[in-house]
Structure 1
Amino acid sequence: MKKVAQEDYLPLLRSSLSTIKKLKVELEKKKSNTEPIAVIGMGCRFPGGCNDPEKFWEFLNEGHDGVIEVPEDRGSIRDLYDPDPNATGKIYLKEAGFLQEKVSEFDSRFFGISPREAIEMDPQQRLLLEVSWEALERAGISANEIKGTQTGVFIGTIGSEYALLPRANKNTNPYTLTGSMSNIASGRISYILGVHGPSISIDTACSSSLVSVHLACESLQRGESSLALAGGVNLMLAPDGFLSLCELNALAKDGRCKTFDASGDGYGRGEGCGVVVLKRLSDALRDKDPVLAVIKGSGVNQDGPGSGLTVPNGKAQKELITKTLDVANVPPDDISYLEAHGTGTALGDPIEFQALTEVFGKDRKAENPLIIGSVKSNIGHLEAAAGMASLIKSILCLQNKTIPPNLHLDTVNPRIHLDKIPAKIPTESIPWETEGKQKNLGISSFGFSGTNAHVIMSEPPETLNTNNYLQSSFERPLHVLTLSAKDEDALSELIIKYKDYLDNKSLEKLENICFTANVGRTHFSHRT
């Protein structure tokens, strides 16, 4: 037998090693592209006086309605009210989900913005700055800590109604464009924080903010971003949107979303802002971040041609939810709660429910009903921020192991058959029980433009600490609580907030509160 020289094996060996390396790279790439994303912080401004997640949960759990009469500072909307839906150039409703506080109030100097520029800034940009900063603080991340990093910013926003309002010297002010353009909504956040990741404003109508979550997750999974802010904002400042929607007869006459109810006669508008802080789960675990929830998968698609430009497509909704379940590797029967788009329209609700029936109604047993709800029944349809309101509500449901009531449900729409899934729409708070299995949920957000988004999310593993504060690993006999602000008035307000929190929240350990305030907050010149 002919002997083979050792050197003859070397090319084969090198080729094999090269192949193994390529396979390893491909496996790592595939793993990173499907890595779960941790939600590590969140902030919000929603109707009903919900200026933080704790107030929002209390509001939801107690079944409150955030729809109110048009505030006095929105005179251009109030003055056009006429109950006659056929009246031309009039608004046939006088209630919607408005924020309770005045949106004109803004501490511009905190963000290094001159009063002159602040006047020209759309209040949507102002809200986004405030809520993004709060979301980072609640994640235990100092703004100084992320300066210069690949932090991405993804914001859902639909234009600027503020730009439609008459203002003195509007056409000659140098800040008019930057104050009203959608691209600045995300760009200004990145600029103020000094970060270098992708900065994108997204407008897909009603699905904008959930699409922003999807894009943020993809950016993290690709390694394009190391941290991401995803959010959405919507303010109703001018009458134009109301007038056009009234002409379409798209709005409910009482200004409320009567989700899945037989009386659904259109949707009720709402406003607000929500922002979440996202990170790859492995990085969040490494950095000992507070993991509030885990995004297992997300997806986006389009209705395409159908019955009309703004008419929802049930087939597209079904395909999107099915594909997102596959991405998340979660079978339909393991989804126990579905936060529906649920606008309360006579056309859209039955189409959405039929798609849910086709996805979740195959093998589901009666003892495992799909619980369905929609935050729109509480605060109205926040349009560009609607998906963010749904996401934050869903995180709070996971944290509190409770599903809050769905409002305005007296008689289920006769075209909706709950028993076909089977499904349940709670009208009072119910405990969320899954018999020891991990809690998984789905969130739908469907756009007026035809762009649909869906997210699959779960509670974090029980071994993780899910508190909203960084944890101190040291035991000390005494603790220092460091509070600071940019002026004395702001410092006084901060002290009052901490006092109220310490008076009302007894579950959190004092050492964790102090540790977070000391190392997870930006420190300013006025301190105590």
Structure 2
Amino acid sequence: PHTLHTTLTAKIDTTHTLHTALQHHPDVTLVTYSSAAATFGNPGQANYGAANAFQDALAHQRHRSGLRATAIGWGLWDTTDGMAGGLGRAELDRIAAAGVLPIDVHQGLAALDAVLDADRPTVLPVRLNLNAFAARDAVPPMLSRLVRPARRRAATGAGGTGELARRLAGQSAQEQTAFLTDLVRAEVDVVLGRTDGEPVDPQRPFRELGVDSLTAVELRNRLVAATGVPLAATAVFDHPTPAALVEHLRTVVAGPDGAAPATPTIRTAVAVADDPVAIVAMSCRFPGGVTSPEHLWRVVADGVDTVGDFPTDRGWNVDDLFDPDPAAVGRTYTRQGGFLLDADTFDADFFEISPREAAAMDPQQRLLLETSWEAIEAAGMDPADLRGSDTGVFVGVITSDYVTRLGHTPASVEGHVSTGTTTSVASGRIAYTLGLEGPAITVDTACSSSLVALHLAAGSLRSGECSLALVGGATVMAGPVNFVEFSRQRALSPDGRCKAFSSSADGTGWGEGVGVIILERLSDARRNGHPVLAVVRGSAVNQDGASNGLTAPHGPSQERVIRQALASGGLSAGDVDV
């Protein structure tokens, strides 16, 4: 309300006061300075448009009552001391691109003389670029007759698609791309007011360049005017990088091979049920400072114990948290687990993520981003080459206590907490950051989450839903809630170590880690020259159903899922070594 009050009071109260004072003076003309914003609208100035619309309406009402009034809906003046005096070159260029041109002082004074002699309730002394208005989706009704010829010119190729097609004819796809890239870069520079001379990175998202919803439409309008290509108002969001927008323009005008106009194509999935699924790369972080699969193997082969004391960098009050009595409320009777080193560190700049957003991101999301990148490189691929591909992302995430570590939402991270701590974003952020367009699924089936993610990814590859899949999982315990909960259930091992096959087994131990593997159909892996580390012959998923308790294991169900997995891989139990 306060943003409306100041403007409405200045316009409405004063105008109404003058109107009331002049009601008994029919020979006096009430002249008010309104604005073209009342007719055309003006982004970010709804209050100003509404206040001036009142002036226009009051002038019409006075005329109907036999009183004299004229509301002058001024457009932009080319002066240094008027309302536009504080605008910079970029703002003025954007206004011009929207179809409004400035009038100089002599034109304005001549327009004022003509207006005062016209005896009309409302007039619009505005200079318009009708070609710019012709590129708009919606045109004010009063201008539709005027802009129709400009739209016809664009439709018939006078400066439109036909001319651009002729310009691109005979060029290679690379030459066409280079020409259109220069064009898009130039228009981006104009709408953003860029004057540093540095060329726009064609792979950088428009959002990161500073293009918002308003400048996105302005950019689209300028490209329509420059190319004649009928772009949707959402073109910049549909094709979120200059390179993607260039390819869209090139395909629309010249076709995918540069020869003929293209029609939209839909990628058709091809089922390949009989093709095994290969693991072609791995990356990981685990307790004990493990940062690679090779390092993990050394830890396992050497029997290294990576369980240690509670971390001291997470704000846990370890002394108050520990109590050897399993019945102690809010306490845990173990003070050890397997914890990642440096779980709080993240190279935000590398992924072009702001420090504020990085602080709001669950460490599990950060680690999955880093290990996904490492896995792609381990396969001998460039992450940039996967942008726009049908690569899928399948990750298991079951812990979501980072938001509780924030306590209340600090003002510095507001706006990023929901995406930073929502588990579904764990897979979506990888897909967004790397530009992957296959399935993106976060799985939570408790301890089996990463395995179920692998099962889903293999099925997606076999059905042709994706041709490559990033699969993994992450667990980082931002708070001690799991230790406290399992202490109440008497389910923790006092020394924090699992002894699953030992007569001394005395409970579970909690640990952290992140791992990502890359899956590919075996035939594709061999054709692409990727290393085949292992082959997934089969997998299966089921549930216990109504067993002996919500969390209790059920032997027959476990036997059944093992038989299903063996059958899906065409194997028998005797074919399994370990």
Where 1:92 maps in the other structure, the secondary structure is coil
Alignment map for 1:272-283 (pairs within 5 Å): 272-283=513-524
Q: Is the 8 A contact 1:37 1:296 kept in 2?
A: yes
Deviations 1:246-278 (A, max 9, x none): 111111111000011112111000001000000
How many residues matched? 308
The answer to which structure, 1 or 2, has the higher relative contact order (CA under 8 A, 6+ apart) is 1
Structure 2 residue aligned with 1:301, among 516, 539, 542?
A: 542
What amino acid sits opposite 2:296 in the alignment? Answer: F
Q: Is the 8 A contact 2:392 2:468 kept in 1?
A: yes
- The answer to whether structure 1 residue 74 and structure 2 residue 335 are counterparts is no
Structure 2 residue aligned with 1:121, among 344, 361, 373?
A: 361
Alignment map for 1:121-160 (pairs within 5 Å): 121-160=361-400
Q: Is the 8 A contact 1:170 1:176 kept in 2?
A: no
Q: Is the 8 A contact 2:474 2:512 kept in 1?
A: yes
Shift of 1:240: 1.7
**Distance of 2:502 and 2:493 partners within structure 1:** 12
Per the alignment, residue 217 of structure 1 pairs with 458
Q: Is the 8 A contact 2:277 2:520 kept in 1?
A: yes
- The answer to whether structure 1 residue 284 and structure 2 residue 525 are counterparts is yes
Alignment map for 1:273-422 (pairs within 5 Å): 273-337=514-578
Per the alignment, residue 52 of structure 1 pairs with 292
- The answer to whether structure 1 residue 162 and structure 2 residue 402 are counterparts is yes
Q: Is the 8 A contact 2:399 2:477 kept in 1?
A: no
**Distance of 2:384 and 2:365 partners within structure 1:** 21
**Distance of 1:201 and 1:286 partners within structure 2:** 29
Considering only aligned residues, what root-mean-square deviation do their CA atoms show, in Å?
A: 1.6
For structure 2, the 5+ residue unaligned runs are: 1-268
**Distance of 2:402 and 2:442 partners within structure 1:** 17
Q: Is the 8 A contact 1:77 1:238 kept in 2?
A: no
Shift of 1:323: 1.2
- The answer to whether structure 1 residue 256 and structure 2 residue 497 are counterparts is yes
**Distance of 2:447 and 2:571 partners within structure 1:** 26
Shift of 1:76: 1.8
What amino acid sits opposite 1:76 in the alignment? Answer: W
Where 1:206 maps in the other structure, the secondary structure is coil
**Distance of 1:199 and 1:124 partners within structure 2:** 16
Per the alignment, residue 28 of structure 2 pairs with none
Larger helix fraction of residues? 2
Shift of 1:244: 1.1
For structure 1, the 5+ residue unaligned runs are: 1-27, 338-528
Per the alignment, residue 107 of structure 2 pairs with none
Per the alignment, residue 189 of structure 1 pairs with 430
What amino acid sits opposite 1:285 in the alignment? Answer: R
Q: Is the 8 A contact 1:151 1:195 kept in 2?
A: yes
**Distance of 1:289 and 1:201 partners within structure 2:** 26
Q: Is the 8 A contact 2:424 2:442 kept in 1?
A: yes
Deviations 1:128-175 (A, max 9, x none): 000110011101111111110000000100142111113564377000
Q: Is the 8 A contact 1:37 1:278 kept in 2?
A: yes
What amino acid sits opposite 1:287 in the alignment? Answer: N
Shift of 1:29: 7.7
Shift of 1:75: 3.4
Q: Is the 8 A contact 1:219 1:225 kept in 2?
A: yes
Q: Is the 8 A contact 1:74 1:238 kept in 2?
A: yes
Where 1:330 maps in the other structure, the secondary structure is coil
Shift of 1:33: 1.9
**Distance of 2:456 and 2:423 partners within structure 1:** 17
TM-score with structure 1 setting the length: 0.57
Per the alignment, residue 448 of structure 2 pairs with 207
**Distance of 1:189 and 1:118 partners within structure 2:** 14
What amino acid sits opposite 1:148 in the alignment? Answer: G
Where 2:447 maps in the other structure, the secondary structure is coil
Where 1:108 maps in the other structure, the secondary structure is coil
Shift of 1:74: 2.9
Q: Is the 8 A contact 1:159 1:181 kept in 2?
A: no
**Distance of 2:281 and 2:433 partners within structure 1:** 19
Deviations 1:359-381 (A, max 9, x none): xxxxxxxxxxxxxxxxxxxxxxx
Where 1:33 maps in the other structure, the secondary structure is coil
Q: Is the 8 A contact 2:281 2:517 kept in 1?
A: yes
Per the alignment, residue 189 of structure 2 pairs with none
Where 1:89 maps in the other structure, the secondary structure is coil
Deviations 1:473-519 (A, max 9, x none): xxxxxxxxxxxxxxxxxxxxxxxxxxxxxxxxxxxxxxxxxxxxxxx
**Distance of 2:440 and 2:406 partners within structure 1:** 30
Larger strand fraction of residues? 1
TM-score with structure 2 setting the length: 0.52
**Distance of 2:410 and 2:400 partners within structure 1:** 14
Q: Is the 8 A contact 1:154 1:213 kept in 2?
A: yes
Per the alignment, residue 509 of structure 1 pairs with none
Deviations 1:223-253 (A, max 9, x none): 0001000000001111222111111111111
Percent identity for Structure 1 against Structure 2: 49
Per the alignment, residue 97 of structure 1 pairs with 338
Alignment map for 1:5-20 (pairs within 5 Å): none
Q: Is the 8 A contact 1:77 1:239 kept in 2?
A: no
**Distance of 1:305 and 1:296 partners within structure 2:** 30
Q: Is the 8 A contact 1:209 1:231 kept in 2?
A: yes
Q: Is the 8 A contact 2:399 2:476 kept in 1?
A: no
Change (3 A) 1:336 1:175: same
